[in-house]
Amino acid sequence: MEARTPPVLLLSPPRTSTAELIARAAAWRGYDVADRAALAAGRRAHWYGGPLAAARLAGPLGLGLLEPADDWLTRLPYALTRRSVRLTTLAEARALRERAFVKPPSAKIDLLPAAVHADGTTLPGGLDGSTPVLVSGVVEFAAEYRLFVLDGEAVTGSRYAVHGHLDPAPLDAGGRAFARTVLDAAAAGLPSAVCLDVGRLADGGWAVVEANMAWFAHCYAAEPDRVLDVVLRAAGPIGEVAARDRPYLSRPPVADRAVPEREDGTSDAARTGPRG
């Protein structure tokens, strides 16, 4: 009997710590792991890595890359966000005359640092005014957590930051319980495989931080084998993308607006203090 060609997990070099962990998990399952796209040509391929490289390779390799909608956070009730959040343009954000947290809606268009601004006059002037940005009220997260979600269930997760500083630790009961509340209310508005960040506020309450592409997310202290489950669904053959996930297929980043992508998969939340 002719042996079947094993599927490939393609990683963007240089490999991050998360890439190494899920590569080992994939190899254990019988996947070939490669850093060069040529090794995946004509084969069943999955992806873990940055969005600019993913955009170049998705067509040739037949990849279907899932990502949450840019406005998902804006559609959540205040009880889950604990702050106002709106999707607007950089031009409109420059007109702000109050303190706000401003960031691009997706890691694939890492155009400006996610940061708190005293008002819109401190936003970069050299970027296209039509660039989409999320503008939100400023909150202080005491601890932040990342959960990898598959079919509406958080299959693994990790704490990743305490008071804005990286501090990975196993997921605790509070983070898991709030994530369950969020998914019960809003999983229908997310792709079936996604990364969800939530946080405990300084006042003891809880709020959603953001949702991200699972195929470009650091796993921190989450279980790599379960992270791999989510990555394989989130970045695999486009012909296998279910109808309910089709609206979440990734749109290519605008090349002339993008800066060199971060391949570490870390969250903006893990590099800031007060934020949206």
Provide φ and ψ at 241, rounded to 5°: -70, 125
What pLDDT digit, counting tens, does each position of 68-83 carry? Answer: 999 999 999 999 999 9
Q: What pLDDT, on the 0 to 100 scale, is given for residue 2?
A: 47
Beta bridge partners of 31: none
Q: What are phi and psi of 145, to 5 degrees?
A: -135, 145
Using CA atoms, how far apart are residues 249 and 123, in angstroms rounded to an integer? Answer: 30
Residue 107 confidence class, pLDDT cut points 50, 70, 90: low
179 contact partners, CB below 8 Å, separation of at least 6:
145, 147, 149, 154, 157, 196, 198
The tens digit of pLDDT for each residue in 91-106 reads 999 999 999 999 988 7
Distance CA 233, CA 194 (A): 9
* Residue 88 burial (10 A CB sphere; 0-12, 13-18, 19+): middle
What value, to the nearest 5°, has the Cα angle with vertex 113 and ends 111 and 119?
105
Distance CA 149, CA 170 (A): 16
- Cis before 14? omega within 30: yes
H or E element: which one contains 9? strand 8-11
pTM score of the predicted model? 0.90
- Does pLDDT of 84 surpass 90? yes
Give the gyration radius of the chain's Cα atoms. 18
Q: Is the pLDDT of residue 261 over 50?
A: no
What phi and psi, each to the nearest 5 degrees, are found at residue 3? -70, 140
